[in-house]
Amino acid sequence: MMKVECTRLSSGLTVVTERMPHLESVALGVWIKSGSRNETVDEHGIAHLLEHMAFKGTRRRSARQIAEEIENVGGEVNAATSTETTSYYARVLKDHVPLAIDILADILTDSTFEEEELRREKHVILQEIGAADDTPDDVVFDRFAETAYRDQTVGRPILGTPETVMSFTPDQIRHYLGRNYTTDRMFIVAAGAVDHDTIVRQVQERFSTLPVTPLSPPVLDTARYTGGDGRETRDLMDAQVLLGFEGRAYHARDFYCSQILANILGGGMSSRLFQEVREHRGLCYSVYAFHWGFSDTGIFGIHAATGGENLPELMPVIIDELRKSSTSIEQQEIERARAQIRAQLLMGQESPAARAGQIARQMMLYGRPIPNEELMERLSGITIERLTDLAGRLFFDTAPTLSAIGPLEHLAPMSDILSSLNAGPAAVHALAG
C-alpha cells in the first residue's frame, strides 16, 4: 500500500516520501519555490544559469565526478527551471539513495561556481537560446508570455538573453542562491522503494548547512495581465498562432473549472477544436487548448499550427467555438474531461518520478499532499452552468493576447479579432471575409 509521509525538520526544510512497495528504484529530488520570476531586472536568466552551474563542480567533486558517480551505479541526475520553481532530481536503485542524496546536497550547498566553468556554461546557454530561437513553436510561446505580461518578470523567457547571460558573475549567482535557496522554500521529495525515517535522517545530515533565512528579501512582483498583439512575420512553411486570455491562479475558485474547460475545448482528439478545426475542416495539423496556473494569475490559450493560407478561415472558427462554449456544454463532455484527468492522476502514480513531481508541486502550492480523492471531489462540483459562465467571462470580458510567427499576411488585424470577440456570431462570420 502506498503511503505519503511528511516531516518538517527544525531547520524548516520539509521532507516528503511516498513508499511504492512494488518498485526497486527511487525518484527523489529537491524542489525550490523559486524560478525565473524571482529574478531582479538585471538577473534575467540567472535562475536557469544557476541550475546549469550546480553540476559544474563542488569542493568535493569535479563536474566529471558528479556525472560519473551517479552513472557508475546506473542512476541519472538532472534539473529543470520554470517560471516559479526549480528542481534538481535523481533516479537510482534503492541501495543508492544515500549517494543520490549526497550528490544533491553537495551541488546545492557546496558548488564553487568557478570562472572557467562559468565561461563554458555561458556559451552552452547561448547555443540553447539560439536553438530555441530557431524553433518557431518555442518562440511563439515566449512571445505569448511577453505579450500577456508586458515588461514583467513573469512574462520573460526563462533562458534570458545573450547579453544578460554573458554578464553574470559568480558573486551574482551566489547572491541569487542565498536569496532564494533557503529551507522555508525547499522541499525534498522521494517516491518509490523508500523508508521515510531513513531518508529524513540522511537529509538532516547532508542538508544541515542550508541557510534558514535569505540574504535579502525574495523578489516577487504581483502579476498584471495586459494582453496585446505580438506577431512576427518569418519565411516559414507554417504559421504558429496562439490566442489567449487571462486565466485563473492555482488557488482561485475557477482554477479546476478552467482545467476542465481547456480539456473540453482542446484536450484531445475528441475535443471541440480538434474535431471542428482539424477533422471536419482540415484547417491545421495541430490545435489544442491549455490552461496554465501561477501563484497569482493564469493563462488560458489556444494554439494552432497551420499553413498561412488557412488563417482567414481558422481564426473565425476558433472564436466561434469559444462563443459556443459560453452558451452550450454537454454533461457528457464534462464526464469525459473528468475521466481524462482521473486517468492522468492514476497513471502518474505508476511512475515514481511523476509522483514525486506531483507531490512536490502540491507541497509548494498548498502546503500538503492532496489525495486523488480530494482532487476528484473538487472536479465533481463543476457543472454546466459554472463552465458556460466561466467561458463567457474568460473569453469576452478580458483583453485577448495574440502571438503569431510565420507567414502572417492573411492573419486578421487585432482590431478585427477584438470586434469579433466583442460582438455576436455575425461578426465572427464577417471576420472570415
Catalytic sites, residue numbers:
51
User: Cβ(216)–Cβ(383) under 8 Å?
Assistant: no
> Nearest 5 degrees, angle CA 39-CA 365-CA 264?
105
Residue 16 has which C-alpha cell?
516528503
> E strands within 51-200?
76-81, 86-93, 186-192
Q: For residue 333, report the phi and psi dihedrals to the nearest 5 degrees.
A: -65, -40
Q: Which of 361, 335, 348, 162 is nearest to 260 (CA)?
A: 335
- Contact (CB, 8 A) for 198 and 204: no
Which residue carries 469559444 as its cell?
Answer: 322
Angle CA 21–371–342, to nearest 5? 90
Grid cell in block for residue 283? 484547417
Label residue 262 exposed, middle or buried (CB < 10 Å: 0-12, 13-18, 19+): buried
Instruction: Give dist(CA 15, CA 32) in Å, integer.
Output: 12
| 21: amino acid identity, one letter | P
Cβ atoms 31, 187 nearer than 8 A: yes
Size of the chain in residues: 433
Q: C-alpha 19: how far from its chain's center? A: 26
Those residues whose C-beta lies under 8 Å from the C-beta of residue 69, and which sit 6 or more positions away, are: 61, 99, 103
User: Which segments of 297-410 are extended strands (E)?
Assistant: 298-306, 401-406
Judge whether 302 and 242 are in contact, CB under 8 Å. yes
Q: Which residues are CB-contacts of 61 (< 8 A; sequence separation ≥ 6)?
A: 69, 103, 106
**How many other C-beta atoms can be found within 10 angstroms of the C-beta atom of residue 171?**
9
Measure the CA–CA gap between 137 and 347, rounded to whole angstroms: 28
- Enumerate helices (H) and strands (E) in the chain, giving the number of each: 17, 11
- Judged by DSSP in three states, 305 sits in strand
